[in-house]
Amino acid sequence: MVIRKLKDMINSLSGKDSLENVKKDIDEIETINIELGHSVAKLNSENKNLRKKQEHLKSIYKDQFDSIRKTRVQSKEHCNSLIAQIKAKSVENLDLNAQLQEKIFAITALKNELRKLKGKNVVDTVVSKPNAPIAPRMFKLDIEPISHRLKNNRDAHKTQKAYYEEVGISHQTSVARTPQQNGVVERRNCTLVEAAQTMLIFSKALLFLWAEAVTATCYTQNRSLNQKRYNKTPYELLYDKKPDLSYLYVFGALCYPTNDVEDLGKLKPKVDIVIFVSYAPVKKAFRIYNKRTRMIIESIGTGYVKSGQKQSKTEKPRYENKKS
């Protein structure tokens, strides 16, 4: 707009020669120049204000970003601490469950022993009333029901001693309360305990399965070469033939028996995840621990997944489950 006015004034000057008109035009030009100076100053001041606002916004955004980053770091640390606490609590829960299982087995064993000593009816009557006080007669041991057993034991001991003397066997016993005299027995017991401990740690099994681990250790030790004198296993010395080792499995090996005991629906899983723990004492079967039902059952079949191996897709093991 200003440039257009200047052009019009220049065009008008080309056709006029009067001095007054020239002065008038110069005054107008100076006025326009002053207005332009004011406009430039105003624009400069506005530019400065905008820069100040921009710097202020930058500082605000920077503070907010720093606070967000700090809050994020704190939240991450808090989450990590919560996760660590949850893991610790889960480990404590597992330990408590294992201790509870051990106590349950111990209580069951005590109940069975009391049933043998005091009678099944007496023990069941006391157990059925958990809040009732225990009668003093429960602490008294009645010897009469087992007196004939003690007598039979004495007679059997005399018969055994006479048999030893007849065949020329020198039967010697160690002194009471002197375990240091039982060297062979103590070493064998130490071997069983250490092997069972190693098996439990390696398989990450629960602690209440220690009895099954000891049984499996004893079963394999009897079929292992542990004496260099005869160069034979204890099984060979007893039965005069080599043992069959094709059915031995690693303690804690996974297997998947078919659940044919419960009434399952169409969409429920048909198999359970169990682990091998021992061998049946009087049957040709395996003892396995079911993690879902928390029961030890006896099973016969093939298709165990040994440690470090994967089960083939074509292999379909079959099992016949029986509760122990």
pLDDT exceeds cutoff 80 at 312: no
Instruction: Give dist(CA 303, CA 317) in Å, integer.
Output: 5
Instruction: Give dist(CA 288, CA 291) in Å, integer.
Output: 10
pLDDT exceeds cutoff 60 at 109: yes
Domain edge (last residue) among 30, 61, 89 = 89
Task: Please report whether residue 55 resides in a domain.
Answer: yes
Co-location of 188 and 319 in the same domain: yes
Task: Please report whether residue 179 resides in a domain.
Answer: no
Co-location of 190 and 313 in the same domain: yes
Domain edge (last residue) among 36, 55, 89 = 89
- CA-nearest of 228, 276, 211, 274 to 248 is 276
What's the pLDDT band for 309 if we cut at 50, 70, 90?
A: very low
Please give the structure tokens belonging to residue 187: 């070493």
Domain with 234, as residue range(s), is 184-323
Calculate the average pLDDT of the chain.
78
Co-location of 191 and 299 in the same domain: yes
pLDDT exceeds cutoff 80 at 73: yes
What confidence score (pLDDT) does residue 31 get?
A: 85
pLDDT in tens, 236-272: 888 889 998 888 889 998 888 877 777 777 778 878 8
Domain edge (last residue) among 34, 57, 89 = 89
Please give the structure tokens belonging to residue 198: 């190693």
Task: Please report whether residue 204 resides in a domain.
Answer: yes
Task: Please report whether residue 174 resides in a domain.
Answer: no
For residues 96-119, give the mean pLDDT.
79
- Overall number of domains in the chain: 2
Instruction: Give dist(CA 103, CA 192) in Å, integer.
Output: 23
**What's at 91, amino acid-wise?**
V
Phi, psi of 233 (to 5 degrees): -80, 160
Co-location of 199 and 313 in the same domain: yes
Instruction: Give dist(CA 131, CA 115) in Å, integer.
Output: 20
- DSSP secondary structure letters along 102-137: HHHHHHHHHHHHHHHHH-HHHHHHHHT-TTSPPPGG
Residues paired with 254 in a beta bridge: 275, 305
Co-location of 85 and 189 in the same domain: no
Co-location of 198 and 304 in the same domain: yes
